[in-house]
Amino acid sequence: MTVSPDIEANDALPAEGTPGTQFQPMSMRITIGFFVAIPFFAVIAAIPMAWGGWLSWVDVALFILFWAITGLGITVGYHRFFTHGSFKAGRGIKIMLAVMGSYALEGSVSQWVADHRKHHKFSDVEGDPHSPWLEGDVKFAVLKGFWHSHTGWLFDKEQTSVKQYAPDIDADPDLQLLSKYYPALVVGSLLIPAVLGGLITWSFAGAISAFFWAGLFRVAFIHHVTWSINSVCHIWGKRTFKSRDKSTNVWWLAIPSFGESWHSLHHAEPTSARHGVLKGQVDLSAVFIRTLEVLKLVNDVRWPKPERVERKLVDPSLAPRIRGYKKAA
Ligand SMILES: [Zn+2]
Ligand SMILES: [Zn+2]
């Protein structure tokens, strides 16, 4: 087979850039900017809106419902299932988790998985797409690092190569289809709460109010909680478990992040289906996975083994706090 000059010319473009990356065009960066900024304006507007009486119990209920559906789509679907294979699931559950995650407006499953696998491969060293620790010795390095790890990295010209880091996701026909219709999922994620709000209150004002709280505000909330795992949970908090990076456990993010802020354990045991492994560490994603397992909707769940967890503890005296821990005879 001869290679046409066109293909040779294309190969010369910086499509791959640094190894393991792919070029992100300006149009995509503008689109991302739009979807980062608009929901964020909703956060700024939230207090005057609530103060002015534009927040009803219907809005609160719809916010919680869509926060749970889309938050678990990211934590259980995108993260623990698609990225790390913490459990096995049939086609129906796979599609359900991918749709739930897509509704969080954090991009298609393939790019998310690729970014996150690369983060684990190079965590907090050169090659990590969103480490807060690679901003060098500049003044305000921590601030700059925080911004980069929280949001700035989304706008990098070079993004993680899906072909290299998520070939399994890229080759799945169901996920390809969802990726193709991703814009429709975005519209659905914002419009479904509005339609429900309108029907429940039987008013146009109810639809607008639900669109704001369970649509825009909820998207911003999930965005910033997810990004806090990349920023806060690599800067502040407690290093409870041994890993080669700077990941930490942050207790106050446990409930909003559905258990993902037990990030020190996650870097020590990335395939574990439970991140909150010590007694008292709330992990709602693990509760959801366990529920699916009891209902026989998922199988081969990789629950953490207490003896392995014990070996990873920085402070061995914490061993009795491990869930399911039995003292050796
Ligand atoms: Zn991390
Ligand atoms: Zn992970």
List the chain domain ranges.
Answer: 14-321
Contact between 264 and 243 (Cβ < 8 Å): yes
pLDDT attached to residue 6: 34
Angle at 18 between CA 17 and CA 23, to 5 degrees: 35
Which two three-digit tokens encode residue 76?
């259980």
Which two three-digit tokens encode residue 280?
């008292």
CA of 153 to the centre of ligand 1 (A): 14
How is residue 249 annotated by DSSP? B
Can you tell me the distance from the alpha carbon of 67 to that of 260, in angstroms, rounded to the nearest whole number? 15
From residue 329, how far is each of 111, 312, 326 by CA, in Å?
Answer: 48, 20, 9
Contact between 142 and 132 (Cβ < 8 Å): yes
Please give the backbone phi and psi of residue 22, each rounded to the nearest 5 degrees, phi first. -135, 155
The residues near 122 (Cβ < 8 Å, ≥ 6 apart) are: 128, 131
Ligand nearest to C-alpha 264? 1
Residue 158 has pLDDT above 90, yes or no: no
CA of 267 to the centre of ligand 2 (A): 7
- Rounded to two decimals, what is the model's pTM? 0.89
CA of 194 to the centre of ligand 2 (A): 32
CA of 95 to the centre of ligand 1 (A): 25
DSSP string for 32-83? HHHHHHHHHHHHHHHHHHHHTT---HHHHHHHHHHHHHHHHIIIIIIIIIII
Contact between 249 and 237 (Cβ < 8 Å): yes
What is the share, in percent, of the chain residues with pLDDT greater than 70? 93
CA of 118 to the centre of ligand 2 (A): 10
Can you tell me the distance from the alpha carbon of 88 to that of 148, in angstroms, rounded to the nearest whole number? 34
Residue 193 has pLDDT above 50, yes or no: yes
Residue 317 has pLDDT above 60, yes or no: yes
DSSP string for 272-319? -S-S--BTT---HHHHHHHHHHHTTSEE---PPPHHHHHHHBSSGGGG
Beta bridge partners of 162: none
Amino acid at 43: V
Closest by Cα among 264, 265, 273 to 304: 273
Closest by Cα among 102, 130, 142, 119 to 235: 142
CA of 39 to the centre of ligand 2 (A): 25
Can you tell me the distance from the alpha carbon of 232 to that of 246, in angstroms, rounded to the nearest whole number? 11
CA of 122 to the centre of ligand 1 (A): 10
19: confidence class by pLDDT, cuts 50, 70, 90: low
pLDDT attached to residue 250: 97
Residue 300 has pLDDT above 90, yes or no: yes
Can you tell me the distance from the alpha carbon of 211 to that of 205, in angstroms, rounded to the nearest whole number? 10
Residue 140 has pLDDT above 50, yes or no: yes
Ligand nearest to C-alpha 115? 2
Amino acid at 294: V
- For the beta carbon of residue 317, count every other beta carbon within 10 angstroms: 7
Residue 18 has pLDDT above 80, yes or no: no
CA of 234 to the centre of ligand 1 (A): 6
Closest by Cα among 182, 43, 216, 176 to 101: 182
Residue 9 has pLDDT above 60, yes or no: no
CA of 40 to the centre of ligand 2 (A): 25
Residue 11 has pLDDT above 60, yes or no: no
CA of 193 to the centre of ligand 1 (A): 31
CA of 265 to the centre of ligand 1 (A): 10
